[in-house]
Structure 1
Amino acid sequence: MESRAKAMGHGIHPILIVFPLGLLATAVIFDILYLATDRTSFQISAAQTMGIGILGGLLAGLFGFIDWRGIPAGTRAKRIGAAHGLGNVVVLALFAASWFQRLAATNWDPSAGALICSFVGIALAGVTGWLGGELVERLGVGVSDGAGVNAPSSLRRSAGRARARGA
């Protein structure tokens, strides 16, 4: 089942999601470095990467929602997609809560609550990422109808025609 929102033959959601996921994971790494070193630069870096990651997550989520709407109702893929999407809403809410707690502090100093939110958020992102992988790799969501080990480039005009997988 092909993605509904595409750019140059590929789904936009999987292209975008690497940025917020990487930024939010990097923010957690900066939190850990801050806890280990007590250096102010790490707490500021964590807050800045987190803020950009949240914005990127909202954009990626919009395209994920567009794709989810195209999944047939009553299917396992629709249920897994709903869990994936709602889980990621919770991930973004946890990171937003962490970010706003830091915003109120001097030099973005994270409170214990802010740190807990970011650590729980990244753990949940691992679960929702697995669900996203289940959607693509097991259920075929977002996979081109013409996909196969010898499929032509998605940039070719003929690539849009359906072909048998593996052909």
Structure 2
Amino acid sequence: MLVVLPLGLLIGAVLFDILYLIFGGTTFPLVAGYTMAAGIIGGLVAGVFGLVDWMAIPPRTRARRIGTLHGLGNVLVLVLFGLSWLLRYPETDWRPNEFALTLSFVGIVLGAITGWLGGELVDRLGVGVDQVEDLNAANSLSRKARAGRPAAGGVG
């Protein structure tokens, strides 16, 4: 679960951006910039291990298709945050302009979507979890899923 730290850092960066928009000042943009940089670096490290996991998924399975969307989406998330960071860097106190803020806000929304896809891979399809994977299992929102195996950590 290497994704937890970078995801938390990127969410934190967006929260510091929101605090900057509300209260102004010089501290919030600076903290957002450093937090974002750490999240990007952590995301790159997590991506290496994600690629290794993806390569182990058999081709022509639903898991492989979802894994592809998940991975490419996360690359786009890192690109959006990277561009946002680059736009802040030359500014005094790393103050973000409107475009930098937009990039990070879009990045966090896309990150939520790719996070859900990652949850599908692990919880619903069992990729990287156990030896009894169903790499073509139904979507977790479908009726088939509710009638099938219980959710991980569920009660009864």
TM-score (norm 2): 0.83
Q: How big is the shift at 1:146?
A: 7.8
Do structure 1's residue 51 and structure 2's residue 37 form an aligned pair?
A: yes
Alignment match, 1:72: 58
Alignment match, 1:34: 20
Report matched runs for 1:87-166 at 5 Å: 87-145=73-131
AA aligned opposite 1:137 = D
Q: How big is the shift at 1:108?
A: 0.3
Do structure 1's residue 61 and structure 2's residue 78 form an aligned pair?
A: no
Question: Any runs of at least 4 consecutive aligned residues in structure 1 with deviations exceeding 4 A, and if so which?
Answer: none
AA aligned opposite 1:26 = G
Runs of 5+ consecutive residues of structure 1 not aligned to the other structure: 1-13, 148-167
Alignment match, 1:86: 72
Q: Which whole-Å CA distance do the structure 1 matches of 2:83 and 2:75 have between them?
A: 12
AA aligned opposite 2:13 = A
Q: How big is the shift at 1:144?
A: 2.5
Sequence identity of aligned pairs in percent?
59
Q: Which whole-Å CA distance do the structure 2 matches of 1:138 and 1:112 have between them?
A: 38
Higher relative contact order (CA 8 A, sep 6+): 1
Q: How big is the shift at 1:31?
A: 0.1
Alignment match, 2:137: none
Q: Which whole-Å CA distance do the structure 2 matches of 1:107 and 1:124 have between them?
A: 27
**Pairwise CA RMSD of aligned residues?**
1.2
Give the secondary-structure state (helix, strand or coil) at the position aligned to 1:39.
Answer: coil
AA aligned opposite 1:76 = R
Q: How big is the shift at 1:104?
A: 1.5
Aligned length: 133
